[in-house]
Structure formats: structure tokens, C-alpha cells
Homo-oligomer: A and B are copies of this chain.
Amino acid sequence: MLPANSNPPVKVLTDYLWFNTRRRRELINITEMVSELVERSGIQEGFVLVSAMHITAGVYINDHEPGLWEDIEEWLEKLAPSGIAYKHHQTGEDNGDAHLKNLLIGHEVTVPITKGVLDLGPWQQIFYAEFDGCRKKRVIIKAMGI
């Protein structure tokens, strides 16, 4: 006999990672933190959203290779340079470039969860990219699935 309810219940996990970097720009590999939260959620099949809650920081997936990190930083600085008289600076801010870097690299990734773990490719790692740090900032981790 089937139980009264044979459907697996939908599970949701919500958590927040806090960062307060010492340098203005910093790159942090958060794959392990996300992975642990997914394991704790008990979700076997679903999605996890990893999303910066600030508009001057990014979240992206790429390689864990220090040379490439420098390439990415130089590239971001070339395409979204600091030291420019952005109109945004007339408000007293000085982080116009950080907003553009956020838009260029993106602030969120959605990672599939399969058989209870992050279903990432062999080289895929999740990074938090701080572009205007030295203050408390958050990333939301929200997983949903069965």
C-alpha cells in the first residue's frame, strides 16, 4: 500500500555568507561553503542559487588557477576601468567601476544539484568577487528541490 502521501516534500534552504574583505578587491573560492549548505539541506535533486546581494560584487564560475585570476582582474579593469570620472561619483561615491564590473561578470549563478551534490564540471569552481570591499557584504545561498 502506498503511504497517504507518496510525493517527496519540497525542501528549501536559505542561508547567507558574510564577507568583510581586507582589500578593496578580493576573490574568494566559495565552492566548499555552498557544497556544505547543499549537503545540509538534504536536497537530492534541484537547484541552488548563489547570488551577491550587493551591486558592487560578483559571483561567477571559473577555474581555480591563480594565473587566471590575475588575467580576469586585469581584464575586468581594462573593460570596466577605475579612475574615471563616472557620473555616479557626483553622489560622493567612488565605486563606479565596481558597478560596471558587477554587470560585466554577473552577480549570480544557478548550480544544479544531482544525487545530493553540486553537479559541477571537473574544473568548475564558484567564486565571490569583491570589487568594493572593506565592509560587510552578503551572498545568499538558496536551494530548492526534492
Contacts and interface: CB of A to CB of B under 8 A. Distances in A.
A6 B61 CA distance: 38
A83 interface: no
B53 A124 contact: yes
B112 A100 contact: no
Interface residues of A, number: 65
A27 interface: no
A55 B86 CA distance: 28
Contacts of A47: 47, 49, 142, 144
A58 to B, nearest CB: 9
A119 interface: yes
A145 B91 contact: no
